[in-house]
Structure formats: structure tokens, C-alpha cells
Amino acid sequence: MTRGRPEILFPLFAELTTLDKVGEKTAKLFEKLHVTRPRDLLMHPPSRLVDRRMRPDLNGVPDGEVATVKVTVAEHRRGRTRAAPHRVVVEDAAQGFTLVFFRLPPARVEAMLPLGETRIVSGKVETWNHMRQMVQPDHVLTEAEAGELPEFEPIYPTTEGLGQRTISAAALSALSRAPDLPEWIEPGLVSAKLWPGWRNAMEALHRPVSDDALRPRSPARERIAYDELLAHQMALALARETQRKGKGRPTVGTGRLVARALAALPFEPTGAQRRAIREIAADMAAEERMNRLLQGDVGSGKTLVALAALLSAVEAGGQAALMAPTEILARQHMEGLGPLFAAAGVVPVLLTGRDKGPGRREKLAAIASGEAGVVMGTHALFSADVDFADLRLAVIDEQHRFGVRQRMEISQKGRRPDVLVMTATPIPRSLALASYGDMDVSILDEKPPGRKPVETVLVSSGRLEEVVAHLRRAVEAGRQAYWVCPMVEESFESDLTAAEARHRELQAVFGDRVTLVHGQMPPSEKDAAMAAFTGGEARVLVATTVIEVGVNVPDASIMVIEHADRFGLAQLHQLRGRVGRGEAASSCLLMYDPPLGETAQARLKILRETEDGFRIAEEDLRLRGAGDVLGTRQSGLPDFRVADLEMHADLMAVAQDDARLLLTTDPTLEGERGRAMRTLLWLMEADEALRLLKVG
């Protein structure tokens, strides 16, 4: 989308080849760095600075450091053989040193450093044979040329074939086109933080005048990071406003059906569940549309909260839908919630991609007539031919499998229902704000009583036989177990083979008491395998990560995870959360291929230490960085270029407040700051959000 982009930004969105030193070939290389326009280049900050400030001599420069000195050329010593280096003795303000050149024609070296003349040389210093020397200096310049050598030379992250000089020339060229842009940040914040304006910040980034420019919290970097966060939060705030403005209808339940379902439960809801149910009911009853996130660690009992919300919509005379990310989960919800719906006198309909032909038509008719009060299913629920008579509420389970965009699509469905999304991904606050900044949040911070801790152990893959023997004893003692083989994204083929091979091997021990489930299986086989495990005929379930989210088989008490080091921590936590749900003491065996790297060790150790999903998430963030924790693509989290969700965590909350506040004072973004904000959204390519201003 480029229509509507402010003219002032045109130079920053021109072809990269319009920059100095950038031809087609170089542009191709830049693409590998995700740099396709001058703007991207400005947002591609140096990762290192080399101090090239002049000094009189090498005194005090430790070996391995870069020095820049003015020297007089005293003597050339050509190498005796072609392989031997060419040495140049030079004098500085103290006693002098030697420049060493390999593989350069002697005539070239002599032309570059004429006897008796002065040159500025810059490069890494070392000591050889008690003599100080500079091997292959980075720069040999005349005094006139030296004026162009920056005191702090930026070194950029690069890719093979793309030299530093090309990048910095291109960056400076982009900088020279950078316009002065109006300020979009709240003026009080700018002055409190001593932040430079946008252009000056870019200048400081690419023409650094001190080491400070590299610190993530230096004013310039901080400001640019904030720009990114602000654009993101502004987009979320616009989405949120649009949702709220979309006339919601108050959905006021009578409480009758919910009470009947709760009475059929074998347990009492936890305090946290009651609170979440109340918060959601209040949201649904309000004029505005609900856009709420229910966050709760695995096993915290989110399904029950969803049930109450679904039933209130029916009580109010409307329809409700529950969407799960996988077929298995959708079916499980249907089965698990079935008796409770029955107690309330509601007959839910299950709709998935598997429904075809007359069966599907029948279901669609029930949905369209309103006869189906509650509809459960996969994303097939929201395909174009599904028409609800009166959809009041959409609940989306395991939201982290869906992105922000999908969420927005769903909320535009039909008469724009209230939306409740549920996630078990316990994410640190900064990430929560990044991914869910447009939503209100309910948290289940209390687990149902009686949960026993899961004993977690690390086992090297060399001890496979012991593990199998242990499992056999456990199965003979009546226990059930999951056995997970990792999903390798690039090659699910080999991953599949791994699961299939393991299944065959375990069959030799367990016969038909072991079963297999994976994503590529025909649906009917998948159901059969899950049913056999849930029903207890199968005692061991070999699986790829399809069981990662939501599966609930309370009798299973052992979790074996092969190649645990290949999983993300949050994922391992989710997998482990499949056990420890019943009466029996549970265990989780994390198998790994030795040797285990330091980070991998540290990560697995955290799992042994705690079952607190939030702590695990914080540690994971610390060890791996934000994108990996959620899986950037899945989370809908943008790829920030300068902002770092860990380093700039506090700024995310500030950006959220700032964005929401601006929208209350200038809802159409037409005031002076509002217009500047539009420019920011264009600059950060969050301009899609601007369209919401119109649809809203």
C-alpha cells in the first residue's frame, strides 16, 4: 500500500539504487539484510564502532586495539620471496613502528607510502619480536583525505560480499535524504528523556560522535526504538478503538444456564476463574464491544471460563462460537464440554474442515437459523459460507497460534461479536503489551487445587533403553505416557520418520498399547489414536508437537520429550503441562543429545527449577530474545529493527499510554500531532492501521 504516503517521505521509500554506491548487485545483497529502501537502511544501525581518533604514537595502545597515528615513511623493505611480507618502517611522535603488507605488489605499497612523506595510518596494533607493528592497516590516507575519516567508524551487521565501506556510504547517502520530520512523540516525554528529534537521532546513529551512540539506552537509540514501539502501539490502539466504536450490543445473561453447568461440575471454580467469569460477563453486558484476552498458565482452567461466557451468550438469546487451532482440540472441547452443555440443555454443533457435503449443509443451516446456540470448531468456523443468525461472542482458544491480523479478521465477522481470546503462553508484560496491546486482559493466576508438582529430569539420549524400561514398569503399574518427538519445521518429513520409527520401536515393547498421532495423518486415524489414548486402551501416545496445546488427558502422568534441546522453553512448559493433571505423581523426562551447550543447559535447568510459566517465559526471553519466545510469525509480533523488547521493555508501556491518550484527544488524528503520528505510521509501515480510521 503506497497510496496516501506523505510526500515528505518519498525519498526514504525510493529504490535503494538511487543511493550512492548502490547498484543492482549491491541492492540484491542488501535484500538479504531485509534492506530494500533507504528507510530500511536508516533503521539498520551499526553494531560496533571503531575508535579512529588520532593519537601521537602507539604508547599505551594494547595489542589487538585499533590506533590511528600520523607517521613519516622512513624505509621500505620488500619481502625476499613472494610469500614474505613487505615491511615499511615509519616514524610517529615517539619511536615509530612497522607496517606489514601481505600479498600486495611492492610497487603499490611504495606508491601508497612514498619515502619521506607523511600519512595517516589506522589499524590494529600488535607486537612481534619486541617490535610494534600494524599488519594490513585498514586505512592509509593523506592528511587531506584523513579529514573524511570519522572519529568513530560505524561497523554494520552485514552479509557476505557486502563491504563496510559500501554500507556506510549508502547509509550516509540515505541520511543526506532524510528530511526533518514533524515531532510525533509527546513533547513532555521528548524533553524529559532528552531525546533528539528524528533526524538528529538518525544522524547520531550513523555519524556517531562517541562510544555512547552504541548503547541501546543512548538518547538517539532510545528515541528510535520508541518510534517503533509507538507506531506499533498506535496501530493496536486504532484497532482497539475501532472495535470499541463498532456498536456492540449488550449481552446480558440470566445466569440460569451457567448455574446448571456449574452444578454439574465435580469441583468448584477457583477464585481466579470466578473473577474472570465476572469480568467477562460485565464486558459482554456493556454497550461497547468486548475485546478481551484471558491469559492463564497451562492447566489453569481456561476452558471453564469459556464455557460460562458461551452460555451467557445463549442465555441472552444469541449464539456463541469457540474456535480452536487444531481439529484435535476442537473435538476435545466438544467431548469435554459435552456433558456440561447437556446439563444446561444446550446442544452444541461441531464444525471443522472435515465436514463436507450434506452433513456440512445441515450444520450450516442450523447455524444460520440460530438453532445451533453454541458452535465449536477450527478456523473453518469463520470461512465465508458460515452465516450465523446472531453471533454474540467469539472465543478463540490458544490465541498464540493465531496472529493479530487473523484476530482482527474474526472480529469483523458478521455483526461484529464480542471477542474473547485465550492463551496459555505466559508472556512477560512487555511482550503481552506488544502482542495484545489492543486488548483488555483477565488473568488466571491460580491453579486448581490439588495439582502435584511434576518431577522433571534431564536424560541423555544414550540412556534410551533405561527410559523405555522405566516406561514399561510404569505402564505395567497402570500409568499412561506421552512420548514426543520434535517438529523440525524445515523438514517435517524427517521429524515424521523419527516419530514413526520411535512408534515402531516402542511397539516391540508395548504392542498395541502404544499408538501414534501426527499432523500429516488422515483425520480419521488421528481421531482413532486420540480416542484410544483418552479412553485408556492405548497407554503410550507417540506424538509430534500436535499435542502441544490444550490436550487434556488427566490420567496421563509421564511425559517423555526427545531432543528437548530443540524446543523453546515455553513449548516445553506447554508439553509438560499435559501431565500433572490427575491424582498420580507425574514426571517429565527431557532427553537431549550430549554435549549440551551452555545456554541449552541453562534453559533446561530453569524447567527443572520451576513450573511457573511466567518465570519460565521471563528467563526464556532473557536467554533467547523476544522473536524466538513467541515465534515472531505466529505471534503477530512485528520485527523491530532497533527496539529490543527486553532492553526497552519499560518504553512499551509508555508507548501504549501515549498512543491511547492521543486517540482520546484527537480521535481522527487530524490535529498537528495527529498528523505527525500519521507520518510515523507510514514511516514504520504500520499505515494499514490508518485504514481503520475510515472503516471505524
Given a contact cutoff of 8 angstroms between Cβ atoms, the answer to whether 210 and 233 are in contact is no
Among all residues, whose Cβ is closest to Mg ion? Answer: 550
Q: Which helix (H) or strand (E) holds 547?
A: none
Asked if 570 interacts with ligand ADP (CB under 6 A), we say no
In terms of CB distance, is 223 or 302 closer to ligand ADP?
302
- CA dist 35 and 463 (Å) reads 47
Out of 291, 303, 442, 545, the residue judged to bind ligand ADP by CB under 6 A: 303
User: What is the pattern of x (binds ligand ADP, CB under 6 A) and - over residues 516-555?
Assistant: ----------------------------------x-x-x-
In terms of CB distance, is 99 or 306 closer to Mg ion?
306
- CA dist 573 and 586 (Å) reads 14
Out of 6, 79, 246, 269, the residue judged to bind ligand ADP by CB under 6 A: 269
- Count other Cβ atoms within 10 Å, centred on residue 420: 29
CB within 8 Å of 649: residues ≥ 6 apart? 428, 429, 430
In terms of CB distance, is 85 or 550 closer to Mg ion?
550
User: What is the pattern of x (binds ligand ADP, CB under 6 A) and - over residues 447-486?
Assistant: -x--------------------------------------
Taking the complex as a whole, how short is the minimal distance between the CB of residue 446 and ligand ADP, in angstroms? Answer: 9
Asked if 304 interacts with ligand ADP (CB under 6 A), we say yes
Closest CA to 306 of 409, 378, 396: 396
Q: Which stretch binds Mg ion (CB under 5 A): 37-45, 377-385, 406-414, 545-553?
A: 545-553
In terms of CB distance, is 128 or 267 closer to ligand ADP?
267
Q: Which residue has the cell 622512513?
A: 74
Number of residues that bind Mg ion (CB under 5 A): 1
Partner that binds at residue 10, options Mg ion, ligand ADP, none, CB closer than 5 to 8 Å by kind: none
- CA dist 478 and 677 (Å) reads 63
Chain CA centroid to CA 326, Å: 21
In terms of CB distance, is 273 or 656 closer to ligand ADP?
273
Taking the complex as a whole, how short is the minimal distance between the CB of residue 424 and ligand ADP, in angstroms? Answer: 5
- CA dist 326 and 164 (Å) reads 47
Out of 348, 550, 613, 636, the residue judged to bind Mg ion by CB under 5 A: 550
In terms of CB distance, is 338 or 414 closer to ligand ADP?
338
Q: Which stretch binds ligand ADP (CB under 6 A): 292-300, 461-469, 484-492, 596-604?
A: 292-300
Out of 119, 581, 603, 678, the residue judged to bind ligand ADP by CB under 6 A: 581
- CA dist 258 and 346 (Å) reads 11
Partner that binds at residue 298, options ligand ADP, Mg ion, none, CB closer than 5 to 8 Å by kind: ligand ADP
Partner that binds at residue 474, options ligand ADP, Mg ion, none, CB closer than 5 to 8 Å by kind: none
Among all residues, whose Cβ is closest to ligand ADP? Answer: 301
Closest CA to 616 of 457, 399, 427: 427
DSSP assignment letter at 371: -
Q: Which stretch binds ligand ADP (CB under 6 A): 281-289, 299-307, 320-328, 655-663?
A: 299-307
In terms of CB distance, is 248 or 550 closer to Mg ion?
550
CB within 8 Å of 153: residues ≥ 6 apart? 49, 50, 52, 168
Taking the complex as a whole, how short is the minimal distance between the CB of residue 276 and ligand ADP, in angstroms? Answer: 11
CB within 8 Å of 82: residues ≥ 6 apart? none
User: Cα dihedral sign for 250, 254, 256, 259?
Assistant: positive
In terms of CB distance, is 149 or 259 closer to ligand ADP?
259
Chain CA centroid to CA 518, Å: 25
Q: Which stretch binds ligand ADP (CB under 6 A): 276-284, 298-306, 459-467, 622-630?
A: 298-306
Taking the complex as a whole, how short is the minimal distance between the CB of residue 451 and Mg ion, in angstroms? Answer: 15
Angle at alpha carbon of residue 28, lines to 23 and 33, rounded to 5°: 120
- CA dist 435 and 74 (Å) reads 64
Given a contact cutoff of 8 angstroms between Cβ atoms, the answer to whether 572 and 590 are in contact is yes
In terms of CB distance, is 444 or 681 closer to Mg ion?
444
In terms of CB distance, is 335 or 685 closer to Mg ion?
335
Partner that binds at residue 581, options Mg ion, ligand ADP, none, CB closer than 5 to 8 Å by kind: ligand ADP
Query: What is the edge-to-edge ordering of all strands in the sheet holding 391-396?
Result: 349-351, 374-377, 319-323, 391-396, 418-423, 291-296, 440-444
CA distances in angstroms from 398 to 61, 293, 322, 645, listed in the order given: 57, 11, 11, 22
Given a contact cutoff of 8 angstroms between Cβ atoms, the answer to whether 294 and 420 are in contact is yes
In terms of CB distance, is 304 or 590 closer to Mg ion?
304
In terms of CB distance, is 230 or 421 closer to ligand ADP?
421
Partner that binds at residue 173, options ligand ADP, Mg ion, none, CB closer than 5 to 8 Å by kind: none
Asked if 298 interacts with ligand ADP (CB under 6 A), we say yes
Asked if 580 interacts with ligand ADP (CB under 6 A), we say no
Pairing of strands 556-561, 540-543: unpaired
CA distances in angstroms from 510 to 49, 513, 526, 589, listed in the order given: 61, 5, 19, 19
Q: Which stretch binds Mg ion (CB under 5 A): 263-271, 383-391, 546-554, 602-610?
A: 546-554
The C-alpha cell at 388 is 450465523
CB within 8 Å of 528: residues ≥ 6 apart? none
- Count other Cβ atoms within 10 Å, centred on residue 283: 21
Q: Which stretch binds ligand ADP (CB under 6 A): 52-60, 207-215, 295-303, 356-364?
A: 295-303
Out of 301, 325, 417, 437, the residue judged to bind ligand ADP by CB under 6 A: 301
Taking the complex as a whole, how short is the minimal distance between the CB of residue 406 and Mg ion, in angstroms? Answer: 18
User: What is the pattern of x (binds ligand ADP, CB under 6 A) and - over residues 414-433?
Assistant: ----------x---------
- Count other Cβ atoms within 10 Å, centred on residue 7: 7
What is the largest distance, in Å, between two alpha-carbon atoms of the chain?
Answer: 101
CB within 8 Å of 79: residues ≥ 6 apart? 85, 86, 87, 106
Q: Which residue has the cell 520429550?
A: 561
CB within 8 Å of 123: residues ≥ 6 apart? 66, 67, 134, 135, 136, 137, 138, 139
Applying the rule CB under 6 A, the residues between 548 and 567 that interact with ligand ADP are 550, 552, 554
Taking the complex as a whole, how short is the minimal distance between the CB of residue 271 and ligand ADP, in angstroms? Answer: 9
In terms of CB distance, is 67 or 424 closer to ligand ADP?
424
DSSP string for residues in 642-669: S--TTTTHHHHHHHHHHHHHHHHH-TTS
Partner that binds at residue 414, options Mg ion, ligand ADP, none, CB closer than 5 to 8 Å by kind: none
In terms of CB distance, is 328 or 654 closer to Mg ion?
328
Q: Which stretch binds ligand ADP (CB under 6 A): 192-200, 249-257, 297-305, 343-351?
A: 297-305
CB within 8 Å of 686: residues ≥ 6 apart? 231, 232, 234, 235, 638
Out of 267, 440, 462, 625, the residue judged to bind ligand ADP by CB under 6 A: 267
Taking the complex as a whole, how short is the minimal distance between the CB of residue 300 and ligand ADP, in angstroms? Answer: 4
In terms of CB distance, is 208 or 301 closer to ligand ADP?
301
Asked if 299 interacts with ligand ADP (CB under 6 A), we say yes
Out of 233, 270, 480, 635, the residue judged to bind ligand ADP by CB under 6 A: 270
| Contact set with ligand ADP (CB under 6 A) | 267-270, 273, 296, 298-304, 424, 448, 550, 552, 554, 581
